[in-house]
Structure 1
Amino acid sequence: MDTIYADYSISMSEFKKNPARVLRTAGEKPVAVLNHNRPAFYMVAPKLFEALIEELSDRDLVNLARARLAQKDEAIEVDIDQI
């Protein structure tokens, strides 16, 4: 059985009947839409989706910073006032 990462779940057929009602009922919480009792997709409010995208972007920046810090011995010192 698949793990469901949502507080609410609904069958695909019930979801198709009235997606707007599902969104209203869930509020800001994610909803797992199930097909044959397995998650087919997750429905999330725009606010939550934006937060997820921002978190992923922040993680990418952290990884980039760590990679650059690992190469700091190869860095060339410059004077920013002379640019």
Structure 2
Amino acid sequence: MQNVLANVMVSISEFKKDPSAVIAEADGTPVAILNHNRVMGYLVPARLYEQIMERLEDLDLIDVIKARSGEQGIPVSLDDL
């Protein structure tokens, strides 16, 4: 059985009829788009998508920090820059 990772679900047919109503009804939460009772995709509000992307960037930065944590610094004078 497929997991649905949204509290709001709508059939693709319903979504095509009135996408604006579906978005309004979801009230800023993700919407699972179903086709024959299977999740075909998710509609994610722009603000939530931006937050997800920022979080993923943060996780990438954590990996860089961990990889560089054992490196030795190089002394530099501000005048040399």
Structure 1 stretches of at least 4 aligned residues deviating more than 4 Å after TM superposition: none
Counterparts of 2:77 and 2:28, CA distance in 1: 46
Any idea what the Cα deviations from partners look like across 1:42-82, whole Å, max 9, x if unmatched? 00111111111111111111111111114x2xx35222423
CA-atom RMSD, angstroms? 1.3
Count of matched residue pairs: 80
Answer yes or no: is 1:56 the counterpart of 2:56: yes
Listed as ranges, the gaps of 5+ residues in structure 1 are none
TM-score scaled by length of structure 2: 0.88
Q: Which residue of 2 aligns with 1:67?
A: 67
Aligned-pair identity in percent equals 38
Q: Does residue 1:9 correspond to 2:1, yes or no?
A: no
More helix by share: 1
Distance across 2 between alignment mates of 1:14 and 1:76: 59
TM-score normalised by length of structure 1? 0.86
